[in-house]
Structure 1
Amino acid sequence: MPNLRTNRYLFKYRNLSEVLYDSLIPDPFYFTLEQTVSGNNGEKREAVLRYMDYSIIESEQFGKIFIPKNHEYGASLWSIPLNNKEEIIKKKKKKEFIINNLGENSWLYYKSVVEYMSLKSCNLVSSDSWYLSIVGLKPSHQNQGLGKTLINPVLEKTDSKGIMTYLETFNPRNMKFYEKLGYKTIKSFKEPTIKSDYWIMARQPDK
């Protein structure tokens, strides 16, 4: 297992990673992910901040990302369909990152959750759908109508291309927000590793 205290990681989006962390750490997925990291609370937090930063970079390379221009109050990160070669590279890099920066336990946790949720969603959404993997808004900017500004610019693109989008949420309080954007709940499951209910929501393109 790597020594997370000495393993240096150079952030590209440190400030934005902190925004995503503060916004998302109450979510059961990220809360539990943090608990899988060895070390004190500061080391655990730093590891999840690295995860957030890597997720932004990963979306730049393999998916889509929206960050408000000249502002860092939030972001939306999207996964898009890839060819087999790209998908293999993406998964390999993700595994290496998590093991090297969070640890083997974190990788086993991540793998278990993602494989279960992917298995459930693949039968419910089309293979060419875009997936809203992460959206986070700075807590001080919440309840001001800014959340939709992180998602709508991408939905305009998917609408123009006739592409379905979907998401998964462990927080039922978020569902009304997504419903206002046109998402509908299509199924709910209990994730066995986290032991928490979550909902799959999908949105047909608005033509």
Structure 2
Amino acid sequence: MSSPSNIEFPRIARSLAAALIGDPFYRVVTVACGEDEAARLEMLTAYFALALDEGEQAGRVDLADDAGNGAAIWTTDTPSAQRQAAYAQREAALRNLLGERGFAHFTAIVENMEHALAPHGLQDAWYLSIAGIAPDAQGRGLGASVLAPGLAAVDAAGATCFLETYNERSLPFYGRLGFAVAGRYAEAVTGCDYWLMLRQPSAA
């Protein structure tokens, strides 16, 4: 596992913010920024710094490269009490960061997605919660390479993993990594569809 030091957090968080600023989920949770894209980038940088911290506490964080050009953040088989404590800590910080409307959107979307997940029996699955590469570093294969260590760990654990994406164009990319579409859902808060993708562990 390649884990960032706190010194690297700002660069990695900003890379994730730049990569994902157009995602419908991140647009609506940063509603307090209105049309101010610079403010949105700053808010998302703080958002992803919190996510990186949670990932280090209760999952795994893999880096795209030594320059901080992106990361993959996973929820793993860490004990549930540890995961819940880390999530609660991040949630409290997000309430302040996102503001009343943004946090309400965040909470509603999480609840909607959890409802959609329930029939799939993924309580013990690993979750690829965030993955992104800075726009100016894309096209170099970093997207696949940043996911490789986590996927190897998933396979070693014999676990299923899943992700959710609003980006239909990313489906072939994840498909090449062994993920398959398990459902397409309309999400009310964003007003957009997203895809649930599952990956079964690869045989050794």
Tell me if both proteins adopt one fold, taking TM over 0.5 as the criterion.
Answer: yes
SS of residue in 2 equivalent to 1:102: helix
Partner of 1:43: 39
Cα deviation for residue 108 of structure 1 reads 0.8
Q: Give the Cα–Cα distance (whole angstroms) in 2 for the partners of residues 11 and 122 of structure 1.
A: 38
CA distance 1:146–1:44, shift in 2 (3 Å):
closer
Q: 1:133 aligns with which of 129, 133, 139?
A: 129
Partner of 1:119: 115
Aligned match of 2:87: 91
Q: After TM superposition, give the deviation of residue 80 of structure 1 in Å.
A: 2.3
TM-score, with length taken from structure 1: 0.87
Q: Provide the secondary structure at the position in 1 that maps to 2:120.
A: coil
Select which of 188, 200, 203 maps to 2:196.
200
SS of residue matched to 1:144? coil
User: Kindly tell me: are residues 118 and 203 of structure 1, through their superposed partners in 2, closer, same or farther at Cα, counting changes over 3 Å?
Assistant: same
Q: Which moved more, 1:62-71 or 1:184-193?
A: 62-71
Match of 2:23 in 1: 27
Q: How many residue pairs were aligned?
A: 198
Give 2:136's aligned amino acid. S
Partner of 1:142: 138
Distance 1:77 1:34 in 2: 20
Opposite residue 19 of structure 2, the aligned amino acid is: S
Residues 81 and 127 in structure 1, CA contact (< 8 A), matched pair in contact too: no
Residue identity in the other structure for 1:200: L
1:63-113 deviations in Å (ceiling 9; x for gaps): 111014523121000112454533442332122101222212221111000
Deviations 1:147-199 (A, max 9, x none): 10010111111111111110000010000000000000011100011110000
Unaligned runs of 5+ in 2: 1-5
Q: In the alignment, is the contact (CA less than 8 A) between 1:37 and 1:102 conserved in 2? A: no
Unaligned runs of 5+ in 1: 1-9
Q: Which residue identity lines up with residue 104 of structure 2 in the other structure?
A: L
Name 2:175's counterpart in structure 1.
Answer: 179
Report the equivalent of 1:158.
154
TM-score by length of 2: 0.89
Instruction: State how far apart, in whole Å, the 2-side matches of 1:113 and 1:100 are.
Output: 18
Q: Which amino acid in the other structure matches residue 82 of structure 2?
A: E
| Alpha-carbon spacing, 1:53–1:151, altered in 2? closer, same or farther (3 Å) | same
Query: In the alignment, residue 53 of structure 2 is paired with which amino acid?
Result: I
Alignment match of 1:55 (pick from 51, 56, 67): 51
How far does residue 116 in structure 1 lie from its aligned partner after superposition? 0.7
Q: Match of 2:3?
A: none
Q: Which moved more, 1:118-127 or 1:165-174?
A: 118-127
CA distance in 2, matches of 1:17, 1:124: 31
Structure number having the greater helix percentage: 2
- CA gap of 1:119–1:16, structure 2 versus 1, over 3 A, is same
The answer to which of 28-37 and 142-151 deviates more is: 28-37
Moved more, 50-59 or 70-79: 70-79
